[in-house]
Structure 1
Amino acid sequence: MRVTRVNNKRKLRKFINLPHEIYEDYPFWIPPLIFNEKKLIKKGSSIMDDDREFFIVLDGPQPIARLAVYTKRHSVKAKPNGYFTLFESYNDEVAVKMLFAMADSWFMMRKISNYSGPESYINGDDYKGLLVNNFNDYPYINMPYNPPYYKELLKLKNLRKIHSFANFHFNLEDGVPDSLEKLVGYSKNRFDYRIEPHDLSDIEVFSKEILYIIDNSLPDTGEGMRVLTYENIRDYFLQLKKYLDKELFAVAYHKNQPIGFSAAIPNYNEIFIDHKTKISLIRRLRFLIYKNKVRSLRIFNVAVVKEFQKKGVSHALHLHIVKNAMNKGYKDLEGGPINFDNRRSFQDAIKAGGNPYKEYALYKRIIK
């Protein structure tokens, strides 16, 4: 076996096709719909827009494992941090050790002493983490799925789990708790804000509002947060725009100033449960034919500016989306991920009727 960089079309094809080979006998895996790995490797993304590399382990011509690595700054003046992503492997410890040894060397050349993952390769939240519990449910859109043996493969020396987080399932047929309705009504009156949908037609204005909210929602230290630019946000939502429903997107305003937003996306993975072809034309046709028959959705982002945090704004945003979803006939919702250490948000999700039914983990590799 040998580990090599993805530096030609043949290796690129093997890198992209490897998951389809590994998951042939895993019925709950669903290939990503929205984000194109080939384009990602060639042009990067809003996260992988700086220094990046892609590795693959080959046994003769047969691909065995793959890994991507990249760097990203937490602030303009900060030193870059290291991350790994797009990890896939057959159950082969030797191949995995080879991958991480190569990644170690790559980061050491950049004077980076540790790196973490599996991180998102898109925007910071989508496809983030390693699934470690509940392998018998289909993933919602833009969420990872992996075989149970992956968590054993990552029990490497100098690789330790640093975060655990959960996704929550909500049965919308149970309705909305009266207590939540009362809380939101009280919050709106006391703190003088309103919730509005966003028609998403003016992507320039929209992106500026979202950037303002995100920039002003972060802790003063910005520790652990990545720098996002207007271009990052605009390009991300331009890519998502045709998949979004404006009634599942909400912005909170105090007077005319945006103070928070929340976004949900229909769970288009429903369409591909029994049709996992990698032929893009067939996938696009199925999407167009069946997209209006989807009956589950995922809330994938929420942010509130610091001045309005802990004032019920996030509850109001979610309530707006949930009521619209119920009116449109949606039956199930997934929310998260929420870190187990974030006890307040965790308990809020449970009180709102959520069931923490999937667990994910992030790991850190110390280079020695």
Structure 2
Amino acid sequence: QKVANALLGTAADWLRGRGLEVIRGPASFSTNEQAALLVEGFDRPATIMMPYNPDYYEDLIANAGFHAAMDMVAYYLDNNIPPDFMLKREERLSKRLDISLRTLRKEDFSAELDRVLYVYNKAWEENWGFVPMTDAEIRFMADELKVAVMKDPEQVIFAENAEGEPIGFALWLKDYNQALIKVRGRLFPFGILKVLKHSKHIDMGRVLTLGLVEEYRHKGIDSLLILRIFREASAKGIAAGEFGWILDHNYPMRRVIEKLGSKVYKRYRMYDRDLNPSV
């Protein structure tokens, strides 16, 4: 605890000296990237681009003067046949709504990033902890994911209105952590070959993000996107997946996921600490 207090106290002093009033974390550097502390679900390994930490970190942070600011949850989904009512709803909605779904166009990658950026900043702008994503930021993140999504463009799904304008998107990825865990962090000299070998047998995925611009919410389009993910993932041998994280109070999205029979299997937490507490 002494070491944690010293480390976090030094960070607090540095921020306080620059006029800031609250320290929030953990995050690197915002909720647009990896963020939060795992507080429930230590029995399962982290999926791709999700944090993992020892369970005692929670006490270290709380005892250093931090309090819970927001919880996030992750759901576990078996990629089995969706319930009949979802399939019937999909057919009905597809006929009634004048929208279409499509996967990433590899030949138009730069423009596709523009579409993602547009939807992301509109769809998430009212979310807790939201920080607008910049063009430079999304292109940096795209460089990290480009190999995966260009290999399997079905991992990016767009929803468009009748005019062809983007109104939503979803991003899911194969859980490459299943392959990386086999080499225990040792990529060289032969680890990379093992990763390539085990990548062929990945059977789990993660839905990183799914969002719609406000005027197209509550119409069932989110269900259509999820069902499309089911189909694309199943075609690639994915038998199960993680959906998250989702803000704890995002009940509309949580209800959609829970209708599939899924349950929360991990919980994450962001913390705040007042840098100038009143005496």
Global fold match (TM > 0.5)? yes
For 2:108 and 2:143, how far apart are their aligned partners in 1? 11
Q: What residue is the counterpart of 2:87 in the other structure?
A: 181
For 1:365 and 1:357, how far apart are their aligned partners in 2? 27
For 1:367 and 1:216, how far apart are their aligned partners in 2? 31
List per-residue Cα deviations over 1:159-186 (Å, max 9, x = no partner): 10111121100111x3111211222333
Shift of 1:211: 1.4
List per-residue Cα deviations over 1:53-72 (Å, max 9, x = no partner): xxxxxxxxxxxxxxxxxxxx
The code of the aligned residue for 2:166 comes to P
For 2:155 and 2:73, how far apart are their aligned partners in 1? 22
Shift of 1:125: 4.5
Calculate percent identity across the aligned residue pairs.
25
Q: Secondary structure at the match of 1:154?
A: helix
Shift of 1:250: 0.5
Change in 2 beyond 3 A, CA 1:319/1:281: farther
Task: Work out whether residues 216 and 305 of structure 1, in 8 Å CA contact, stay in contact via their aligned partners in 2.
Answer: yes
Instruction: List alignment gaps of at least 5 residues for structure 2.
Output: none
RMSD: 1.9
Aligned length: 273
Deviation above 6 Å: which 4+ runs of structure 1?
A: none
Q: What residue is the counterpart of 1:161 in the other structure?
A: 68
Q: What residue is the counterpart of 1:141 in the other structure?
A: 48
Task: Work out whether residues 5 and 64 of structure 2, in 8 Å CA contact, stay in contact via their aligned partners in 1.
Answer: no
- Tell me, yes or no, if structure 1 residue 260 matches structure 2 residue 168: yes
For 1:311 and 1:281, how far apart are their aligned partners in 2? 52
Q: Secondary structure at the match of 1:179?
A: helix
Change in 2 beyond 3 A, CA 1:231/1:125: closer
- Tell me, yes or no, if structure 1 residue 151 matches structure 2 residue 151: no
Instruction: List alignment gaps of at least 5 residues for structure 1.
Output: 1-92
- Tell me, yes or no, if structure 1 residue 349 matches structure 2 residue 244: no
**Residue from 114, 117, 121 that aligns with 1:208:** 114
- Tell me, yes or no, if structure 1 residue 192 matches structure 2 residue 98: yes
Change in 2 beyond 3 A, CA 1:280/1:353: farther
Q: Secondary structure at the match of 1:264?
A: strand
The alignment's TM-score, normalised by the length of structure 2, stands at: 0.91
For 1:207 and 1:272, how far apart are their aligned partners in 2? 27
Task: Work out whether residues 218 and 306 of structure 1, in 8 Å CA contact, stay in contact via their aligned partners in 2.
Answer: no
Q: What residue is the counterpart of 2:141 in the other structure?
A: 236
Change in 2 beyond 3 A, CA 1:216/1:188: farther
The alignment's TM-score, normalised by the length of structure 1, stands at: 0.70
Change in 2 beyond 3 A, CA 1:222/1:294: closer
- Tell me, yes or no, if structure 1 residue 124 matches structure 2 residue 31: yes
Q: Secondary structure at the match of 2:249?
A: coil
